[in-house]
Amino acid sequence: MAITAFCGVAVFILSGIKENRSKVMEGTIDDVCTTVEELNSINSLIHPNLNKLRKSEFFRIFKVNLEQECPFWEAEGTCITNKCVVDECEAGEVPNEFKMCNQTFDVERNLQISEMSMINSFIPNTQIDEWMKIEEKDDKAVFVNLVKNGHAWTFFNGSHIWDAIYNENCMSLLELDQCTENQVLYKLISGVHANVNLHITHNDFDLNGDPLPPNHERYLERVGLHEGRLENLFFTYSLALKAINNLSGKIDEFSYLSDNPQVDNEVKETLNDLIENSIKICENPFREENMFTQWTKEQFTNTIKPVFYNITRILDCVTCEKCKLYGKLQFTGLTAVMKIMFGQEKESKLTRNEMVGLINLMAKLSDSIEWYFQWLQYEQSYEYPVWYALKNHWMMLLLIVPIVIYEISCFFKTKPKLKTSVKKSQ
């Protein structure tokens, strides 16, 4: 019995250690037309391109309104560290061309999504005909240098914001049948959520604003132990990657508004290299035409667009400036993805802000994929102490320890009696 108890404790400890390792993602993922291994290979190639692009003048300057009032409830709460504060661009830091707000990028797709499996159910139209509120012409919008305002842990608790975002998605689509189309938005939201959590766990700070090592425990709690969240991260990555691949052949048509033609050409060259590096491994990481089994593209867009718009308005309820900045940046990028992949003909142009959002979203997703595989390597090489396995299971341990003690005491109580019996026989 004692041996059994000891074995039970050993198995318990080993299982506890296993529970404190990331879910291993491999093979294919639902709705993604390539493997995790291929996406990792692509990411290794394009990550340097994305790092170079987001540091360039064109892609590091983003215009955003951080003072817009929350339209849904009275927003409360303040940040407790200086990491929440966003510094605006200084005078002379923003090129005059950026201030004109009249530049657009033609991204009309070559790929035509088939209008298949028409259904008879009526999906109501809406008064909202935008993916999100355009802030580039807003008087209260300011220019922000993203390189100088890095994404990091701020101690802001945004759980109520994410709850509202998920509830808006759920309640708006509740009456629709469960089909591939209406799960897309949930997967994208979840993918962005996982992306945000990977960034705030990697860029960790204490209350004094001093940097800390990446927080493995917070990473596991928020992302690593959740297979669904990891799947949705790869889903969002593959969809954003396909959107960028669809810009192939159009990059040279854009102007990146640099006073230096050489810099402008370098941006074009880096973008073309990014797309070439992606396509040579997998041209179609995501086949959007496979999604439309019950809806047409137009029905999908008309249904998702108002929900997406309301979700982006929830971001105005965030009371942490840095969190609001990066929430709006990533959803602006997601707007560009939706326009490129699912937008109607009149939505074939992106604003400068949407192009900036697209590249920065892709860069941040690329960071997250790289960090995920780094965490896997770390967990394989790290020797976990016993307490690490036990700390999350202390209640079960309280049940096991008395049993072990009882079994051990019973084992030793029987020994003296055996010795006594031997002496009497002599």
Question: Is 332 annotated for ligand binding?
Answer: no
Q: What count of other Cβ atoms lies within 10 Å of the Cβ of residue 102?
A: 10
Sequence-ordered list of residues with C-beta below 8 angstroms from that of 132, at least 6 positions apart, any chain: 308, 309, 312, 313, 331, 332, 335
375 and 420 co-located in one domain: no
392 and 290 co-located in one domain: no
Whole-number Cα distances in Å, 262 to 35, 58, 158, 266, 356 = 37, 13, 42, 6, 20
16 and 75 co-located in one domain: no
* Cβ contact 359:378 at 8 Å: no
Q: Look up 323 and say whether it is catalytic.
A: yes
314 and 392 co-located in one domain: no
282 and 400 co-located in one domain: no
SS3 350: strand
Low-confidence ranges of the chain (pLDDT < 50): 2, 5-6, 9-17, 109-127, 171, 174-179, 387, 418-426
pLDDT in tens, 160-193: 899 888 887 664 554 444 445 567 888 999 999 9
* Cβ contact 248:275 at 8 Å: yes
Question: Is 160 annotated for ligand binding?
Answer: no
Question: Is 222 annotated for ligand binding?
Answer: yes
Please report the pLDDT score of residue 263 as a whole number. 80
Please report the pLDDT score of residue 44 as a whole number. 96
244 and 112 co-located in one domain: yes
245 and 109 co-located in one domain: yes
Question: β-strand 104-106 against 204-205: which pairing, if any?
Answer: unpaired
141 and 152 co-located in one domain: yes
282 and 398 co-located in one domain: no
Q: What count of other Cβ atoms lies within 10 Å of the Cβ of residue 156?
A: 22
328 and 411 co-located in one domain: no
Please report the pLDDT score of residue 113 as a whole number. 30
Question: Is 4 annotated for ligand binding?
Answer: no
- Which of 89, 282, 317, 320 is catalytic? The answer is 320
CA distance 178 to 176: 6
Task: Indicate the number of domains in the chain.
Answer: 2
Please report the pLDDT score of residue 405 as a whole number. 72
SS3 136: coil
* Cβ contact 203:220 at 8 Å: no
Range of the domain at 413: 1-20+385-426
- Which of 101, 282, 323, 410 is catalytic? The answer is 323
Buried residues in 327-336 as b, exposed as e (16+ CB within 10 A): bbbbbbbbbb
Question: Is 162 annotated for ligand binding?
Answer: yes
Nearest CA among 360, 380, 22 for reference residue 192: 360
305 and 349 co-located in one domain: yes
6 and 119 co-located in one domain: no
Q: Look up 179 and say whether it is catalytic.
A: no
* Start-to-end Cα distance in the chain: 31
| Residue listed under structure tokens 């959740």 | 226
